[in-house]
Amino acid sequence: MHHSIYKSFFISKVMLLNFLMPSAVLFAADGAAVCTEVKKAELSSRNGSASERKCKAMSTKSKAIVERLRPGDDFQQSLKRIASEHELKAGVVVSAVGSFKTACMRFAGADAATEIQGPLEVVSATGTISESSMHVHISVSDSSGKTFGGHLMPGCKVFTTIELVILDLSDEWSFERKMDEQTTYLELAPAKNTK
Ligand SMILES: [Zn+2]
């Protein structure tokens, strides 16, 4: 009895390894494909420094700002501080996971902000951000799992932590805002940088 259990465990372990191996090979193949592309670029370029420049350009295009916010920090103020410190011309909030003790957001169509008492899980945050302006939406869920979402306003206070990741696209883009006469709001006016 024990023997057969051991045997089936062993077989399943071997099967698991077989199952995992192809994905490991695939991963390596992906890496190899990337290396090949870089090598092709090197070979096709008579000037070696051209491919170096290409590699440098590739590495600066997708910079990220990663920061952990602390208890009591105001989420919107923290975004403003980070944008200023990094002289952010164009950023995208890609992840903000953590908790708020209070959340403050403007619901769709509302004129004023609504405050929600926590503790709340921050389940998403997304938006565009620069030194001069930002447009960020958040969603939070309460102890029953009920979720609220809206336009980020001042007053979202961190409870335990926020693990924040901002993608910095400043090498390629500048995010400004211009009045749109149709919507009567300041809307994003993305400009591609010229070098
Ligand atoms: Zn909004």
Domain count, the chain: 2
| pLDDT for the residue numbered 148 | 98
Q: How far is the CA of 159 from the centre of ligand 1 (A)?
A: 23
% of the chain with per-residue pLDDT over 70: 68
Are 87 and 29 in the same domain?
A: no
Choose among 108, 83, 105: nearest CA to 169: 83
| pLDDT for the residue numbered 34 | 36
- Give the integer Cα–Cα distance in Å for 52 and 37: 13
Are 154 and 77 in the same domain?
A: yes
Q: What's the pLDDT band for 16 if we cut at 50, 70, 90?
A: very low
Top pLDDT among 168 and 45 is at: 168
Q: What's the pLDDT band for 178 if we cut at 50, 70, 90?
A: very high
- CB contact at 8 A, 148 and 140: yes
Are 80 and 22 in the same domain?
A: no
- The pTM of this model reads 0.70
| pLDDT for the residue numbered 26 | 33
Q: How far is the CA of 152 from the centre of ligand 1 (A)?
A: 7
Are 132 and 39 in the same domain?
A: no
Q: How far is the CA of 144 from the centre of ligand 1 (A)?
A: 26
Domain housing 40: 1-59
Region 31-42 average pLDDT: 39
Q: Which two tokens stand for residue 117?
A: 């008492």
pLDDT tens column, 46-99: 444 555 555 455 555 569 999 999 999 999 999 999 999 999 999 999 999 999
**Domain final residue, candidates 59, 77, 99:** 59
Q: How far is the CA of 165 from the centre of ligand 1 (A)?
A: 19
Q: How far is the CA of 59 from the centre of ligand 1 (A)?
A: 31
**Domain final residue, candidates 33, 59, 85:** 59
| pLDDT for the residue numbered 194 | 86
Q: How far is the CA of 122 from the centre of ligand 1 (A)?
A: 17
Region 117-135 average pLDDT: 97
Q: How far is the CA of 177 from the centre of ligand 1 (A)?
A: 13
Are 139 and 122 in the same domain?
A: yes
| pLDDT for the residue numbered 176 | 93
| pLDDT for the residue numbered 62 | 64
- Give the integer Cα–Cα distance in Å for 34 and 29: 9
Are 127 and 67 in the same domain?
A: yes
- CATH number of the domain where residue 118 is located: 3.30.1330.80
Asked whether the predicted pLDDT for residue 41 surpasses 70, the reply is no
Alpha helices by DSSP H, listed for 45-166, are 48-61, 75-85
- Give the integer Cα–Cα distance in Å for 64 and 89: 13
Are 49 and 96 in the same domain?
A: no
Q: How far is the CA of 34 from the centre of ligand 1 (A)?
A: 38
